[in-house]
């Protein structure tokens, strides 16, 4: 019988090694603290996929017919 080896992965937040298994409730994070820090970054929209703004998608507030200065 082969021994079961523990799979260690780097925590996405702090980089410490943590066990990636069902016994680690915070996987892939090493702790609840690191998990909550990451959640906070998502909630404050710190993570975003950059997308170039196309000129035809930009709208000019002054081009609106209903706008009268």
Burial class (CB within 10 angstroms; exposed 0-12, middle 13-18, buried 19+) of 37: middle
| pLDDT number for residue 69 | 53
22, 4 contact by CB (below 8 A):
no
Residue 2 domain-assigned (yes or no): no
Residue 12 lies in a domain: yes
CATH code of 45's domain? 3.30.50.10
Q: Is position 34 within any domain?
A: yes
Q: What is the pLDDT of residue 5?
A: 82
Check residue 14 and give its pLDDT.
Answer: 94
Residue 1 lies in a domain: no
Which pLDDT tens digits describe the chain residue by residue (69 residues)? Answer: 777 788 999 999 999 999 999 999 999 999 999 999 999 999 998 888 777 777 776 666 555 555 555
pLDDT of residue 28: 93
Q: What is the pLDDT at residue 11? A: 95
């Amino acid at each position: 019988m082969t021994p079961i080896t523990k799979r260690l992965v780097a925590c996405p937040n702090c980089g410490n090694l943590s066990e990636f298994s069902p016994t680690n409730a915070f996987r892939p994070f090493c702790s609840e603290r690191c998990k909550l820090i990451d959640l906070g970054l998502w909630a404050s929209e710190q993570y975003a996929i950059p997308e170039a703004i196309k000129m035809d998608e930009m709208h000019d507030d002054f081009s609106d017919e209903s706008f009268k200065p």
